[in-house]
Amino acid sequence: MRLKKIILWTLPALLLGAVAFWFSLDKEARALLATLPTNRDLLFWSQAQRDAAFRALDRVPLLAKARVVPAGGTPSPLPPGPPLTLPLDLDAYMAGQRSAALLILHKGQLRLERYGLGFGPEGRWTSFSVAKSLTSTLVGAAIRDGHIGSMDDKVSSYIPQMKGSAYDDVSIRQLLTMTSGVRWNEDYGDPQSDVARFNNHQPEEGVDALVSYMRRLPREAPAGTRWHYSTGETNLVGVLVSQATKRPLAQYLSEKIWVPAGMQQDATWILSRTGQEISGCCIQAASRDMARVGQFILGGAQINGQAVVPEGWLAEATTERTGIGRPGRGYGYQWWTYTDGSFAARGIFGQGIFIDPQRQLVIVSNANWAEGASAKVPSDAREAFYQAVRQAIDAEAAPR
């Protein structure tokens, strides 16, 4: 009888507590909980689950733990410019992209800013592989700061646990250009691929989870002889930078870019099961701050005339270092390159930062492509959109 009374008193209290907790959450966190996935493998979530998760991936520790990238107190301005007239149906384009955000900066002015999927300027959207290009920039910063000696230093010099592995004789340059020659499966549709499995790997005690997984991979080709896209390579780059600088990547990103370049909002960076930032993926940031990242890179990665990376390093990073088997395209240091001098950071569900130095142009995209990670139709449509924007910019500059 006593137990029954305890239960009768406890249940309402628990219910009230649950209701209070629910209403204490913001709408993004509530939407994520309402569609909470039954597994941790984001690549295989439904479209509705991704719609909710991409704006709140860092809100539910059960799914993913994250480290904050603090912003400073003085955001850099994004002054509005005249609206850009585009030769296309913008609403139809955004619908086809399932676009959450689309921003265009030209000569430092915000010429277009549109949102969709119920997303807005105050929210954070997950970047996926756009994070790779930021990780690369931190390598340049670590070289300038003296934490890394050379791009040709070996990986195992900074991550001793890679000694004896296929990465023992691989250089930092080869990691950044994804030419290590080590086997890796990046098939987003295969649950047994490396990109799907690495974050669920059970590491040996005392070994970082990413290092534990990567040091088991076999060699397929001599280092430096072939390009093969591998998120695992960038994950190792992040571990290396963290080891070299002796600080978390989120802290170093804040120190070198987020605060001095004037980001308006804190960002977050998703962690591996052993607490290391997953540097090949998953920085959550406001779309306007991603536009500021693009402007920072367009300006030569400089703060008040002082370069964050060594002289000439950014030009190397953003021009072709290796071919990828596609005419007019290449790969730099974690940047996708074009022969006309433009370059881009890209994420698998439609995230992107496109930079055209000749036109002083930055285009930021956030999306959740309906076809998922391997979507060709929206990818081709986005490339066509980049061309349309450049045509519009050129038309403005043409003599009348």
pLDDT of residue 346: 97
Domain end (from 63, 84, 116): 63
Name 126's bridge partners: 284
- pLDDT above 90 (res 205): no
Q: Check whether 107 has a pLDDT greater than 70.
A: yes
Would you place residue 2 in the very low, low, confident or very high pLDDT band (cuts 50, 70, 90)?
low
Instruction: Give which of 347, 389, 384 is closest to 368, Cα–Cα.
Output: 347
- Per-residue model confidence (pLDDT) at position 22: 43
Q: What is the CA radius of gyration of the chain?
A: 22
Task: Give pLDDT, residue 199.
Answer: 78
Q: Which of 45, 63, 81 is the last residue of a domain?
A: 63
State residue 62's pLDDT score. 76
270 lies in the same domain as 375: yes
Say yes or no: 379 and 251 in one domain.
yes
Whether the per-residue pLDDT at 24 is higher than 90: the answer is no
Q: Is 306 exposed, middle or buried (0-12, 13-18, 19+ CB in 10 A)?
A: exposed
Segment 268-274 shows an average pLDDT of: 94
Percent of the chain surpassing pLDDT 90: 78
Boundary residue ending a domain (63, 94, 111)? 63
How confident is the model over 59-67, as a mean pLDDT?
85
Residue closest to 184 by CA, chosen among 249, 280, 274, 319: 280
Under the banding of pLDDT at 50, 70 and 90, the label for residue 42 is confident
Mean pLDDT over 175-187 rounds to 97
Asked whether the predicted pLDDT for residue 37 surpasses 70, the reply is: no
Co-location of 59 and 71 in the same domain: no
Q: Would you call 267 exposed, middle or buried from its count of C-beta atoms within 10 A (0-12, 13-18, 19+)?
A: buried
Q: Taking residues 132-156, what's their average pLDDT?
A: 98
148-171 burial by CB neighbour count: b if 16+ within 10 A, else e? Answer: beebebbbbbbbebbeebbbebbb
Structural domain span for residue 204: 67-397
Looking at the structure, tell me whether residues 76 and 203 fall in a common domain: yes
pLDDT-derived band at 371 (thresholds 50, 70, 90) equals confident
Q: Is the pLDDT of residue 25 over 70?
A: no
Q: What is the pLDDT of residues 115-136, one digit of tens each?
A: 999 999 999 999 999 999 999 9
For residue 102, the model assigns a pLDDT of 98
Q: Are residues 245 and 159 in the same domain?
A: yes
Q: How confident is the model at residue 20 (pLDDT cuts 50, 70, 90)?
A: very low
User: How far from the centroid of its chain's Cα atoms is residue 36's Cα?
Assistant: 22
Instruction: Say if residue 304 is exposed, middle or buried (CB neighbours under 10 Å; 0-12, 13-18, 19+).
Output: exposed
Q: Are residues 179 and 119 in the same domain?
A: yes
Q: What is the reported pLDDT for 400?
A: 72
206 and 339 part of one domain: yes
- Are 202 and 91 in a shared domain? yes
pLDDT tens readout for residues 276-315: 999 999 999 999 999 999 999 999 999 999 999 999 999 9
Same domain, 78 and 48: no
Task: Indicate whether 31 pLDDT > 70.
Answer: no
Which amino acid is residue 91, in one-letter code? D
If asked whether residues 267 and 369 sit together in one domain, one would say yes
- Token pair belonging to 262: 């004037």
Residues 40 and 74 both lie in one domain: no
183-186 long-range contacts, Cβ below 8 Å, gap at least 24?
Answer: 183/217, 183/218, 183/219, 183/220, 184/217, 184/228, 184/230, 184/232, 184/233, 186/229, 186/230, 186/231
Q: Take residue 225 and report the two structure tokens written for it.
A: 């002889």
Question: Which pLDDT score, from 0 to 100, does residue 60 have?
Answer: 78
- pLDDT of 305-345, one tens digit each? 999 999 999 999 999 999 999 999 999 999 999 999 999 99
The total of structural domains in the chain comes to 2
Judgement on whether residues 57 and 9 belong to the same structural domain of the protein: yes
The domain that contains 260 carries what CATH number?
Answer: 3.40.710.10
